[in-house]
Amino acid sequence: MQSLKSQNNSATSLGALERKIRVKFKNDNLLETAFVHSSYLNEHKDHVKDHNERLEFLGDAVLELVTTEYLYSTFPDRGEGELTSLRAALVKGNHLSQVAEGLQLGKFLFLSHGEEKSGGREKSYILANTLEALIGAIYLDRGFAVAHKFISKFILTNLEDILRKGLHVDAKSKFQEIAQDTLSVTPTYAVLSETGPDHDKVFEVGAYLGEILVAKGKGSSKQKAEQDAAVALLKEKGWN
């Protein structure tokens, strides 16, 4: 594959990222592929053969395994339900996008002109997906131990903050419990809009109490958008 560094002038040298995360890749093409958004491939099919979605799929599995093992060992007295909530908080898109922002992964992305203009480098779901793709690339290039070390250093270290802020509590479940207890109403959700191509959709969902729209949320799936709406509603109602 022709070097992507010459294909996209806005992409910063990935060597800086290697130094930041202290992972030196043996296969530079694999690292580059982790930052190729599918929109970029559509515009550069003659030079680029793959985008990062397969690496994202792999990275997601590696992240979940490392996180599950860590929680199982760290909290021997906690049950499956609580461990599941903790894991969800660590691997959910909002948290991963914050980690990606801290690592400034957005500036290394290869995006189409349209995605660039629409602020793709700052979109939370793109950043979260890119972080998972990077984990997948680290796993393939340097093995499980190095991927484990990366995840421990940049993702698992945030668990204390998550516990302190109560971010491991499922927003939809909490919203439903409070709404039923205080208002005797079960919340409902409805898709308000869908934007973007099939491979990169963004859903906007409304959260309702009865027929009243009380909050909106966005996400790369209906489920993620519902969670985002529930979080917004809890904040709006002061139910945190």
Catalytic residue among 53, 56, 60, 141: 60
H/E stretch holding 29: helix 28-33
Amino acid at 165: K
Helix (H, G, I), strand (E, B) or coil at 190: strand
226 catalytic? Reply is no
**Marked catalytic residue, from 56, 132, 200, 226:** 132
| Helices and strands, number each (H, E), in the chain | 12, 3
Active site residue 132: yes
Residues 125/48, Cβ–Cβ less than 8 Å: no
How many CA atoms lie within 13 Å of 225's alpha carbon, on the beta-carbon side? 22
Q: Work out the number of other CB atoms within 10 angstroms of the CB of residue 150.
A: 22
Q: Which residues are catalytic?
A: 60, 132
